[in-house]
Chains A and B, each alone.
Chain A
Amino acid sequence: GIQVEQSPPDLILQEGANSTLRCNFSDSVNNLQWFHQNPWGQLINLFYIPSGTKQNGRLSATTVATERYSLLYISSSQTTDSGVYFCAVETQGGSEKLVFGKGTKLTVNP
């Protein structure tokens, strides 16, 4: 099956710093989503981005489908950005299920 690799696994930042999270996947995909899992376990949708670039406030994402990777940019990080960020993909030709990476755990210190 498809492999989804996220890097780095852990990231510690000072408030105000910028960061880039990466997601590599091993096969063509129909769908790619970025999620933030907050400390209470809720998965919050950040981006639905099978290709191209999107921005939402301090967050932006880019997916280069032909090269099988996606990047999530967080600018001017805040303590509330802490949590685990997951990339998930839906493969072509299969059911609509999402395959998740192992996540990047982000800690933003004040």
Chain B
Amino acid sequence: GAGVSQSPRYKVAKRGQDVALRCDPISGHVSLFWYQQALGQGPEFLTYFQNEAQLDKSGLPSDRFFAERPEGSVSTLKIQRTQQEDSAVYLCASSRFGTGRTYEQYFGPGTRLTVT
């Protein structure tokens, strides 16, 4: 079936603008994750949803970052008043979920955000 999709693939924002990044997980996947990848680094966790519930947002770097998944499917990561340090690739991943075990995560192609 279809994989994880993200849009837009590229976004250029002027410092101070708000941006919204979209993620469509694999159909039927309960768990959804957002990661941030700076140039030359591994991805770093931002936030995690199980269905529509945001269970972990410990990785969000500031209160300018906000994520939602209102119907337990599509998710949006919003960054308000963008700063240059927000420039990175934002990756979305999804996985199945089962009580007592974990499943592998599948990643989308990412959104490359450049703040000028």
By a beta-carbon cutoff of 8 Å, the part of chain A in contact with chain B is 30-31, 33, 35, 40-43, 45, 48, 86, 88, 90, 95-103
Pairs across A and B, CB under 8 Å, 10 listed = A41-B89, A43-B43, A45-B107, A48-B103, A88-B43, A96-B95, A97-B59, A101-B42, A102-B41, A103-B42
Instruction: Check A97–B42 contact: CB distance below 8 A.
Output: no
List 6 A-B pairs, minimum CB-CB distance, nearest first.
A100-B42, A48-B104, A95-B56, A43-B107, A97-B45, A31-B102
Residues from chain A with a CB closer than 8 A to the CB of B105 are 33, 96, 98
Q: Give the tally of cross-chain contacts (CB within 8 A).
A: 56
Q: Tell me whether chain B's interface is mostly helix, strand or loop, or mixed.
A: strand
Name the prevailing secondary structure of the A interface residues. strand
- Let me know if B109 is at the binding interface, CB within 8 A: yes
Give chain A residues whose Cβ lies under 8 Å from the Cβ of B59: 97
Assess whether A99 is in contact with B104, with CB atoms less than 8 Å apart.
Answer: no
Distance in angstroms from A16 CB to nearest chain B CB is: 28
B45 contacts A41, CB within 8 Å?
no
